[in-house]
Amino acid sequence: MDGYRTFHALLDLLPDVAFFMKDRKGRFVMHNRRACEYCRAASEQETLGRTDFDFWDEDRARSYVEGDRRVMETGTPIINAIALAPEEAGSDRLIIYSKVPVRDRRGRVIGVAGIHREIEGRHTPASYDQINRAVQAIHERYREPIKTRELAGIAGLSTSQFDRRFRKLFGTTPREYLLRVRVNAACRMLEDADRTITDIAMSCGFYDHSHLSRTFRRIMGTAPSKYRDLHAPS
């Protein structure tokens, strides 16, 4: 079994996670089984080469296309945003979704890929707008010494309410989520061999080189220097 088929088979083993990939023109080039179910397609083959406008009403399709365009033009991912599930109009189900640019070997953006999973239970969009604001603040301000109580304030919740809702939604604490966002940013920066690890630590919101190294090793299972050796361009 080749790499593509193996990857595809693994995606189909995730019953609650929908995965898709599109080219620069918004045409689907890959769907896992759950994503096909949202499109009411019997198989991936029925979706290939088609666009959001073939499956959704115009307003919803335009919103999806606009998000894709923003990711491809800026090269900046959308991470853990919250939106209505791609179901019938009026559905009160919500999803957590992420979109990332797809690049070729030269680093050129050639499309967009995304995943989403449904939030358990039924909710009004407003019930999670509060958490959404805090999550976006984490991704925009991870370099800053932001505290959980400040994130709770952004969400308009008490610290205990915010912590409880955040754990239920993401399966981790706000603090741990912030540290993982910082480590992910450090991973990207470590691909630049000219930057020192101390500089990267300070740029990602860590106190110093040691703080980054301890956290990086715990989350990634290796030291920043070892990660750089494996991923920095030769």
Domains belonging to the chain, first-starting first, are 3-118 (3.30.450.20), 125-231 (1.10.10.60)
Instruction: Express each pLDDT in 190-202 by its tens digit.
Output: 988 889 999 999 9
CA–CA separation, 199 vs 50, rounded Å?
45
pLDDT band for 92, please (50, 70, 90 cuts).
Answer: low
pLDDT band for 1, please (50, 70, 90 cuts).
Answer: very low
Name the burial class of residue 228, with classes exposed (0-12), middle (13-18) and buried (19+) by CB atoms within 10 angstroms of its CB.
buried
Is the pLDDT assigned to residue 173 strictly greater than 60? yes
Least confident of 6-10, 68-72, 91-95, 100-104: 91-95
Is the pLDDT assigned to residue 88 strictly greater than 60? no
Instruction: Express each pLDDT in 13-66 by its tens digit.
Output: 777 889 999 999 999 999 998 899 888 899 999 999 999 999 988 888 898 999
Q: Is the pTM of this model over 0.85?
A: no
- Taking residues 210-234, what's their average pLDDT? 90
